[in-house]
Amino acid sequence: MADESLNPWKIAQAQLDHAAEILQLEQSVHALLREPMREMHVTLGVRMDDGSTQIFKGFRVQHNDSRGPTKGGIRFHPDETIDTVRALAMWMTWKCSVVNIPLGGAKGGVICNPKIMSPTELERLSREYIRQVGHILGLDKDVPAPDVFTNPQIMAWMADEFAVIKGHNEFGMITGKPIPLGGSAGRTDATSRGLSICAALAAQRLSMPLEGATVAVQGFGNVGRHAVEILSKEYGAKVIATSDVTGGIYNPNGLDYDDLARHADAHGGLLEGYADTHDGVSAISNEELLTLDVDVLAPCAIEGQLRADNAPDVRARLIVEGANGPTTPEADRIFHENGILVVPDILANAGGVTVSYFEMVQNSYGYYWDLETVHERLGRTMTDAFHHVYEMTDQFGVDPRMGAYLVAVARVAEAVHLRGRA
């Protein structure tokens, strides 16, 4: 039987409950925010390359649209569950609110293993998903984006299928698109860039220079790979460990991003075998990576990685969460007691949705910003959000995650009140 203490939906609801208690939210507002506004379960029949038809289960959950259209990624993952999608949708509501962009939260998912599917099979799956859920999507309704195991090409197929259904282009209905189809400059590494900005601001708070600081990054996918690149190349940090689904690698003298990228690109995006061909590099497990003696730990993989069983062994001074929900409430308490500063996911990884919002804005009026403009506006948004969160953290004497929740939930609750919804 699954451990309910690790159920991300139960965790998300418990986090809201705690914030509601501190904010003294009205019971009706609290009850409204505890549940998704809307959710769809769909069955997808997809023709495979061998001529057979495979059946997949998919979801789209819209948590709350009081502050604007809902927004959130689509994950293709073999272990996807409706509770995970519900939690991610709720976290997206708080994420959009904490960086003060006029959007609500949503999330989508399909239970599949994209690693064993061909490009043509992935295209058919992507198009079928849009055929099933497209009527609840749109620039003014709900806007998806890439997430775990999805990418700009998948977004392009989805945007095209939506255009076929509608009879006209509506590029703003999805973000994270390739640049030629209305994508935004700076979107690919936006989550990692926002994470790096937060890491630098948090390091200042600790009076710890980020330049030369040792860093371990769990995950070398959409977020982790670019975090390794930006932290090492732009901030001068020394990344000594990273990992993917095949395991981790460690070099106390630092890892070279360009070399890691070349290896991953030549091996299907994976780091497998890297330690065997590089002097000074050791193979470690993902669990070992989390407890390395480093200044900064950036969990950028999946939820539930830092738990009560391993949190006491974490030696980092600073944790910056690139993944959604990597830390359980029990681990949070341990970190708070041990004086480890955590930059929570709804703040640390909000750079992605921020630049997705910028992409929607650019799509809306058909004028596109240069990279310098995107970086400048992202930096300003993330910096303002960071300071608001830590002001609230200090004011209420809570841990930073609850500080972020207090900022975010208060803004959504105000919108609910103003609209007369509860």
Q: Tell me the catalytic residues.
A: 107
Strand-pair category, 238-244 with 247-250: antiparallel
Task: In whole angstroms, give the CA distance from residue 372 to residue 378.
Answer: 10
Give every CB contact of residue 126 below 8 A, 6+ residues apart in sequence.
Answer: 154, 157, 158, 161
Please report which helix (H) or strand (E) contains residue 218, including its range.
strand 214-218
List all residues 6 or more positions away from 128 whose beta carbon is below 8 Å from its beta carbon.
44, 45, 46
What is the rounded CA–CA span in Å between residue 271 and residue 225? Answer: 11
Per-residue tokens: 98:
């904490």
d(CA 377, CA 190): 11
For residue 299, list its beta bridge partners: 218
φ and ψ at residue 105, rounded to 5 degrees: -115, 140
Structure tokens at 187: 């979107």
The terminus-to-terminus CA distance of the chain in angstroms comes to 36
> β-strand 282-284 against 247-250: which pairing, if any?
antiparallel
Question: Residues with Cβ < 8 Å from 264, sequence gap 6 or more?
Answer: 220, 225, 270, 271
